[in-house]
Amino acid sequence: MYFDPSTSPTKEFSRDADNRKTSILPDALVNLAARYRFATADIGLRGMVQNGARGSREGADVDGEKRFIGDRFTLGTRVSFYGWHDPSRPDRDAASFSYMLAAAFKPPQVANFRVEFEHDINRLVGQRFRLVGLVNLLVLK
């Protein structure tokens, strides 16, 4: 016995004109981002809006990074604010604020070591903290 997707019940359901409204719910999504590079620093801004019958989500990030001693040391930060609304679960509507602080060290032509501390705050999860360590290695063949 095998499964034939051309005759699946899901496909037949979605092709029925009476069910078209329940199987197709388009969303509008807009995402804009900009970054400016200085000689030893970057600053960026990103905004996003998604809206449709299933709800909405909108927010923005601002981030920056400063490089020192020939890009060997780096300090970075990001601040975010996002909100979402779900009409099927109004008790889950919330707004979220987060910030991130980072420091990195890059030995010459070998690796990049980075540590990030992140703090997220919203009414659903309360406060969430995260500490991440990243190692990027240069591998040559």
Q: What's the rounded mean pLDDT across residues 23-46? A: 92
Predicted confidence at residue 20, as pLDDT, reads 64
Is the distance from CB of 130 to CB of 117 less than 8 angstroms? yes
This prediction's pTM: 0.74
The answer for residues whose C-beta is within 8 angstroms of residue 28's C-beta and 6 or more apart is 49, 50, 51, 52
Predicted confidence at residue 33, as pLDDT, reads 97
Taking 90 as the threshold, does the pLDDT of residue 19 lie above it? no
Predicted confidence (pLDDT) per residue in 70-119, tens digit? 889 999 999 999 999 988 888 889 999 999 999 999 987 789 999 999 99
Q: What's the one-letter identity of residue 35?
A: R
Residue (of 44, 40, 37) closest to 64 by Cα position: 44
Taking 90 as the threshold, does the pLDDT of residue 32 lie above it? yes
